[in-house]
Chains A and B, each alone.
Chain A
Amino acid sequence: MSPPKKLLRPDLAVIARHVAPGTRALDIGCGDGELMAALQARGCDARGMEIDPELVERCVSRGLSVVQGDADRDLADYPDKAFDYAILSQTLQTAARPDRMLDELLRVGRQAFVSFPNFAHWRMRAALALRGRMPVTRHLPVSWYETQNIHHVTVADFRELVRAMGVTVEREWFFSRESAIGGAAANLRAEYAVFELSR
């Protein structure tokens, strides 16, 4: 059912490890179903939403339950607390309204995992400060005019948003060069972050 085992992206690996076995999870922007397959291997009932029909087709042909849809619009189709976890990996910054997206995540899921690239990483700052150019990096590899990332966000911005929304951060993880790093000065040092949220 799954392709030959390859290493999960570190943010997905963290999420997969911390989703309790046997629970129901919705992976929003599930891509080719990598995380869903890992969750199913843990005995979870994993469902997915993906906007790209070719990726949906790949998921369905792997035996995964994935609905083609636009998270900005189609999350509304799910009843309240339909899932134990709603997962949004590397997608928040593409949402039309990230705040509303977070609301929706915590409506359909009892808890949420959110990962995103940190726009305040020192490389980003350097690109802007020294070169005066929008950064193009390993984690944000697309030029400003063609990127889907319409709402760049920093770790500090995200913390501020969830606080204002009354959302609780249960746990948080930070990564640089595909390795976990501590939380100290995360807004400067982390290339991307994973937050576990509840309300």
Chain B
Amino acid sequence: MTRAQPSKSLELRAPLPLDCGQTLEGVTIAYETYGELAADRGNAILVCHALTGDQYLASTHPVTGKPGWWDRMVGPGKPIDTRRFHVLCANVIGSCMGSTGPASSAPDGRAYAMRFPVITIRDMVRGLVALLDVLGIERLHAVVGGSMGGMQALSLAANFPDRAARVLAIATTARHSAQNIAFHEVGRQAIMADPNWSGGDYYGSGAAPDAGLSVARMAAHITYLSEAGLTEKFGRRLQDREAKTFGFDADFQVESYLRYQGSGFTQRFDANSYLYITRAMDYFDIAEGHGGKLADAFAGSNARFCLVSFDSDWLYPTAESRHVVHALNAAGAGVSFVELSAPYGHDSFLLDVPALDRVVKGFLE
């Protein structure tokens, strides 16, 4: 894994309290900003990133050299218009792009590795809110996120109801389902089964559990796509060959694609971060602290909500968004919801879906 140099980062003065009961000292939050903050600090939009995302929302990724992960959505004249809004995106704690995570140094100078406390989505949000406190942003114009970013947006609305006027949660859920947890467990077991993982103490050994992390990414990547999308993109086509080889090389294009996705991922992501962040997602259940009543979690909110799902997303299907909408209705919150038609599965929120652009732009007005 290559460590990137984020353009901005700050160290929180106060220790960060965590759901597990521990506190995290000397937390660094790495973040990027786009557009000017208005004098009244009222035009800030916080965009929360997904599991393997980072703060490079609309700027070139320092490791891959690729455009920001939501470059199509954020920028001058784009749906999240940086001529109007001050857009922030911070790397979540537990991750590996500059914010404190398992690869960071513990107070004893060695990497935390598995000594890093197990964190939750709410802990990530605590880190983000601490960042807003330092930046003097009292109330966001909006908090926006897709997938795990949407979980953070909902968590912020539930736990810090005064901090955002609008909440836009895309292709997400208020709780991880058994199926969601199951897929994550496959990924974690792949990492931990890699001999290079060494109980998490691989930093500085020169050998990271890349094979395990790669398999984890391959399995997860399938869940981000749709069956129809995979069929259209690859079908049963063979990879650079005329016939099957009767071996275990990547005969099929879809195999080659997944291997490429897996190995590319290991260049930019830390295996332990993958363990911690997937765990945080699995622990996510907003209603848990409210006797199972999701509506009660949003009782204190006066924000406007917008939820968007995609008809081909089987990872966080429409029913999950409807569940949140139901709760918000019961809580009397102002909520909009639309299921958009897009062929790309869960990844639709990152891809070219013009209807999403219109909804995002319209909701943020």
- Report A31-71 CB contacts with B as 1/0, cut-off 8 Å: 00000000000000101000001101101111111111100
Q: Are the CB atoms of A67 and B332 closer together than 8 Å?
A: no
Contact A61-B325, Cβ < 8 Å, known A53-B339, A68-B339: no
Taken together as a complex, chains A and B put the C-alpha atoms of A63 and B330 apart, in Å, by 21
Closest residue to B337 on the A side, CB-wise?
A67
Interface: A82 (CB within 8 A): yes
Interface: B338 (CB within 8 A): yes
Q: Are the CB atoms of A56 and B338 closer together than 8 Å?
A: yes
Could you say which of A54, A59, A74, A82 contacts B336, with CB atoms under 8 Å apart? Answer: A59
Taken together as a complex, chains A and B put the C-alpha atoms of A65 and B337 apart, in Å, by 8
* Size category of the binding interface on chain B: 20 to 34
Contact A47-B341, Cβ < 8 Å, known A60-B363, A78-B329: no
Closest residue to A63 on the B side, CB-wise?
B365
Interface: B359 (CB within 8 A): yes
Taken together as a complex, chains A and B put the C-alpha atoms of A56 and B362 apart, in Å, by 11
Taken together as a complex, chains A and B put the C-alpha atoms of A25 and B52 apart, in Å, by 42
Interface: A79 (CB within 8 A): yes
Q: Are the CB atoms of A82 and B332 closer together than 8 Å?
A: yes
- Report B310-343 CB contacts with A as 1/0, cut-off 8 Å: 0000000000001001100110101111111100
Q: Are the CB atoms of A47 and B338 closer together than 8 Å?
A: no
Which residues on B sit within 8 Å (CB–CB) of A45?
334
Taken together as a complex, chains A and B put the C-alpha atoms of A77 and B319 apart, in Å, by 13
Taken together as a complex, chains A and B put the C-alpha atoms of A122 and B319 apart, in Å, by 45
Interface: B355 (CB within 8 A): yes
Q: Are the CB atoms of B335 and A65 closer together than 8 Å?
A: yes
Which residues on B sit within 8 Å (CB–CB) of A184?
none
Which residues on B sit within 8 Å (CB–CB) of A57?
338, 340, 355, 358-359, 362
Interface: B3 (CB within 8 A): no
Q: Are the CB atoms of A60 and B359 closer together than 8 Å?
A: yes
Which residues on A sit within 8 Å (CB–CB) of B362?
57, 60-63
Could you say which of A1, A64, A68 contacts B337, with CB atoms under 8 Å apart? Answer: A68
Expressed in whole angstroms, the minimum distance between the Cβ of B318 and any Cβ of chain A is: 9
Q: Are the CB atoms of A67 and B341 closer together than 8 Å?
A: no
Contact A67-B336, Cβ < 8 Å, known A57-B359, A60-B359, A82-B329: yes
Which residues on B sit within 8 Å (CB–CB) of A79?
329-330
Closest residue to B323 on the A side, CB-wise?
A77
Expressed in whole angstroms, the minimum distance between the Cβ of A109 and any Cβ of chain B is: 13
Expressed in whole angstroms, the minimum distance between the Cβ of A27 and any Cβ of chain B is: 13
Closest residue to A65 on the B side, CB-wise?
B334
Taken together as a complex, chains A and B put the C-alpha atoms of A64 and B335 apart, in Å, by 9
Taken together as a complex, chains A and B put the C-alpha atoms of A74 and B358 apart, in Å, by 25
Could you say which of B306, B322, B332, B339 contacts A60, with CB atoms under 8 Å apart? Answer: B306
Taken together as a complex, chains A and B put the C-alpha atoms of A82 and B334 apart, in Å, by 12
Expressed in whole angstroms, the minimum distance between the Cβ of A28 and any Cβ of chain B is: 13
Q: Are the CB atoms of B326 and A77 closer together than 8 Å?
A: yes
Taken together as a complex, chains A and B put the C-alpha atoms of A126 and B338 apart, in Å, by 42
Which residues on A sit within 8 Å (CB–CB) of B304?
65
Interface: B361 (CB within 8 A): yes
- Most chain-A Cβ atoms within 10 A of its Cβ — which of B322, B338, B359? B338
Expressed in whole angstroms, the minimum distance between the Cβ of A68 and any Cβ of chain B is: 5
Expressed in whole angstroms, the minimum distance between the Cβ of B254 and any Cβ of chain A is: 30
Q: Are the CB atoms of B329 and A77 closer together than 8 Å?
A: yes
Which residues on A sit within 8 Å (CB–CB) of B330?
77-79
Which residues on A sit within 8 Å (CB–CB) of B322?
69, 74, 77
Which residues on A sit within 8 Å (CB–CB) of B355?
53-54, 57
Taken together as a complex, chains A and B put the C-alpha atoms of A73 and B355 apart, in Å, by 25
Could you say which of A53, A60, A78 contacts B341, with CB atoms under 8 Å apart? Answer: A53
Which residues on B sit within 8 Å (CB–CB) of A66?
336-338
Which residues on B sit within 8 Å (CB–CB) of A63?
362-363, 365
Q: Are the CB atoms of B325 and A67 closer together than 8 Å?
A: yes
Which residues on A sit within 8 Å (CB–CB) of B337?
56, 66-69
Contact A47-B359, Cβ < 8 Å, known A53-B340, A68-B339: no
- Report A69-95 CB contacts with B as 1/0, cut-off 8 Å: 100001001110010000000000000
Within 8 A of A (CB), among B274-303: none
18 A-B residue pairs with CB within 8 Å: A47-B334, A53-B340, A56-B336, A57-B355, A57-B362, A60-B336, A60-B359, A61-B358, A61-B361, A61-B365, A63-B363, A65-B334, A66-B336, A67-B335, A67-B337, A77-B325, A78-B330, A79-B329
14 new A-B pairs (CB below 8 Å) besides A59-B336, A66-B337?
A: A53-B339, A53-B340, A56-B338, A57-B359, A60-B336, A60-B338, A61-B361, A62-B362, A63-B362, A67-B329, A67-B335, A68-B338, A68-B339, A82-B332
Binding site for B on A (CB under 8 A): 1, 45, 47, 53-54, 56-57, 59-69, 74, 77-79, 82
The 3 closest A-B pairs by CB, nearest first: A61-B362, A77-B326, A56-B338
